[in-house]
Structure 1
């Protein structure tokens, strides 16, 4: 049915009046009198809904694919961390395990076509060298990084010292009834031909000890090492190779041996123990770093986070290493505050590591 023009205008006027009345009513603060009990109650103005802030939860990125890790031992710890990380993330790890020296050699061989995403070394100066060469990726937001012992990590986030070992004098308790107390005691006649020392070209922690000692003593520090050589101290491979003869009794003592291996052997019932000279020793952090050429950066960051987690730090303690976090206690062994430390210069150690290794190797050939 066609609506007339007059009807349209009338309807429009009525609608305008109703809207105007409604607007005026909304602006009134005075309460109208109730003149008719049966009249419908005036509708209350609808209040605008209050805005509720919904906090956006930052969802963790769903990880997939693989991660290539080159890790210095101990083997059981590397494998336990691998299992825990894979279970947590679903990412598959391709692992190469070796000494710090072997890992660095492999990285050098792969320089034209790098494969590794994360390296875990047993030497802080060696990791500093990777940073200096521009090979590490900055990762500042690692979880629990604020709980770490700060001296073991890079302030700019290029590497994190998630664990450490201390270097000491390990000895066979059946053969050694009165153990030596100081480093220079090993130059005495009674220990002639009975002492092993790890090769710093293979063991990052042994290199930390030698360079740390020299950074404190200067060139005069070579006198002790020369006296070791004259007294028949033998350079005997990496840490485990140097310790095994002490466990079996073909040698009596290991100088500058990583302590966690001795504590592990002792826990298994082997006749060995460890001491730290009162003059001090070196605590060797074991840093982890993401390599700049990584093809799996998100997976690599998650691996660093896992290393610093409660779960992984507990695994570190169970391996008799020193945990990197201040709030995690060492297990059945002296903690960081119970070990006398030398005043060493990490920068000097990093700069002079290659020259020291070469000279030491020539001396102990």
Structure 2
């Protein structure tokens, strides 16, 4: 009798020691915008009653955290700012395949990209200028325009080691232009271009007028700053830019894959995609339109990108940029 009572007490103590609703807690790591990640987490909690443990940072920091936690993984769902980072995780066998046909058929064709995961939305890059300092922004119709005496100490660019969209821009840009692209980056460096951090950090000097232009400026950050009344103009070079899908993926180590799938489905539902649009990203689902502040995207030339091939060069290209351009 005493032994049975003791076992019962031990069992009750063990149960009390468990976290409440542990099975219904989802860990989500997300690149910016943090406001979107918080909105998706809140909406999912309201719809399901589950709890979302959210971590937000730049893509570079999210990837670094995933690498640091590889032996004891925490993240169930990961949202990144660029497709090649998601493919890098897939190549490392860290992604649980989730690419259901019922969602795929609703995707915007330009964002329907191969992979064991889905796009939650997309974004693009442009040249952004301060119109108080640059009175003829549309004359900058080429990516290589930001060089020469006029642009000395006047250009910024987000670091591709931290910004997901900047890294995919560098991958696509160097793949298309080869050594010409690398020589351009070296010329920018020699003329005083700075790489102060992720997108917001690179845009801030242009907002303030301390610098005139930003290369590889991500759309949603630039449009948000412009909407606040900053004197900014987005210029899409005639040679074309890239439309970068943003992956939402389930980690193979996810503790509750069914709950993770529900989060992905919520993010790609009409309600979730409206949150994506409100965050000034391009919704992945074709039935939800981008925010009205976006320029007419039908007039923007988008170049095709072989994301799988670009992902295979990701480590080498970013390491070269770190060494040759950033001097790290």
Q: What TM-score do you get using the length of structure 2 for normalisation?
A: 0.87
Equivalent residue of 2:95, what SS?
coil
8 Å Cα contact 1:329-1:335 kept in structure 2: no
Deviations 1:22-80 (A, max 9, x none): xxxxxxxxxxxxxxxxxxxxxxxxxxxxxxxxxxxxxxxxx961100000010111111
Name the structure 1 match of 2:132.
Answer: 174
- Structure 2 CA distance for aligned equivalents of residues 340 and 364 of structure 1: 30
Could you tell me which of 297, 301, 310 is aligned with 1:349?
Answer: 310
Q: CA deviation at 1:287?
A: 0.5
Greater RCO between the two (CA within 8 Å, min separation 6)?
2
User: Is 1:328 aligned to residue 288 of structure 2?
Assistant: yes
User: Is 1:251 aligned to residue 251 of structure 2?
Assistant: no
Equivalent residue of 2:233, what SS?
strand
Equivalent residue of 1:357, what SS?
helix
Q: CA deviation at 1:264?
A: 0.6
Name the structure 1 match of 2:263.
Answer: 303
Could you tell me which of 274, 291, 306 is aligned with 2:251?
Answer: 291
Q: How many residues align?
A: 302
Equivalent residue of 1:187, what SS?
coil
Q: CA deviation at 1:153?
A: 4.8
- Structure 1 CA distance for aligned equivalents of residues 233 and 108 of structure 2: 26
Structure 1 range deviating more: 327-336 or 189-198:
327-336
User: Is 1:278 aligned to residue 227 of structure 2?
Assistant: no
8 Å Cα contact 2:223-2:294 kept in structure 1: yes
Alignment CA distance shift 1:342-1:227 (3 Å): farther
Name the structure 1 match of 2:151.
Answer: 191
User: After superposition, where does 1:149-164 map in structure 2 within 5 Å?
Assistant: 149-150=108-109, 152-153=111-112, 155=114, 158-164=116-122
- Structure 2 CA distance for aligned equivalents of residues 140 and 357 of structure 1: 28
CA RMSD in angstroms comes to 1.8
Alignment CA distance shift 1:247-1:297 (3 Å): same
Q: CA deviation at 1:186?
A: 0.2
8 Å Cα contact 2:99-2:118 kept in structure 1: no
User: After superposition, where does 1:14-29 map in structure 2 within 5 Å?
Assistant: none
- Structure 2 CA distance for aligned equivalents of residues 142 and 308 of structure 1: 13
- Structure 1 CA distance for aligned equivalents of residues 100 and 117 of structure 2: 12
- Structure 1 CA distance for aligned equivalents of residues 186 and 281 of structure 2: 30
Alignment CA distance shift 1:285-1:106 (3 Å): same
Structure 1 range deviating more: 231-240 or 147-156:
147-156
8 Å Cα contact 2:23-2:256 kept in structure 1: no
Larger relative helix fraction: 2
- Structure 1 CA distance for aligned equivalents of residues 296 and 90 of structure 2: 28
8 Å Cα contact 1:153-1:287 kept in structure 2: no
Deviations 1:129-160 (A, max 9, x none): 1111111111243753311135535546x211
Q: CA deviation at 1:299?
A: 0.9
4+ runs of 1 displaced by more than 6 Å? none
Name the structure 1 match of 2:15.
Answer: none
Alignment CA distance shift 1:326-1:336 (3 Å): farther
Q: What TM-score do you get using the length of structure 1 for normalisation?
A: 0.79
User: Is 1:80 aligned to residue 39 of structure 2?
Assistant: yes
Alignment CA distance shift 1:244-1:72 (3 Å): same
Could you tell me which of 254, 277, 280 is aligned with 1:317?
Answer: 277
Structure 1 range deviating more: 348-357 or 326-335:
326-335
- Structure 2 CA distance for aligned equivalents of residues 356 and 84 of structure 1: 38
Deviations 1:304-324 (A, max 9, x none): 001111111111111211111
Equivalent residue of 1:244, what SS?
helix
Equivalent residue of 1:278, what SS?
coil
